[in-house]
Amino acid sequence: MAVMTRHYFIVARDQTSLCEYLARQFASEENVEVFLDRRSGRDRRVVNGDRDTVERRGTERRHQPFVDTQLRSLGYAMFRVE
């Protein structure tokens, strides 16, 4: 049995039209998923007292330099998972 290669498109948060377009283009493809980048620093911060903000996680688990570069330059990143 052959393993199906999956294709993922992560689209920049400010590119909703592009995300909708790609989702329509690949709607019939079972091995393709298109979604908006959900990463955000805001939802990991906790206000501590009046002014202090504390990062709940010590490191950024979702930091992916390739994805970040592609999102900035192209508006999306595409990668395959086998």
What's residue 15's pLDDT? 96
What's residue 6's pLDDT? 96
Q: pLDDT per residue over 16-64, tens digit each?
A: 999 999 999 999 999 999 999 988 755 444 555 555 555 545 555 556 7
Q: Which amino acid is at 66?
A: F
Query: Quick one: which H or E segment has residue 71?
Result: helix 65-74
Domain locations along the chain: 7-36+74-82
Q: pLDDT per residue over 57-82, tens digit each?
A: 555 555 678 888 999 999 999 999 98
- Residue 45 CB: number of other CB atoms within 10 A? 13
Gap between the Cα atoms of 33 and 49, Å rounded: 41
Task: Determine the distance from the C-alpha atom of residue 77 to the mean position of all C-alpha atoms in its chain, rounded to a whole number.
Answer: 8
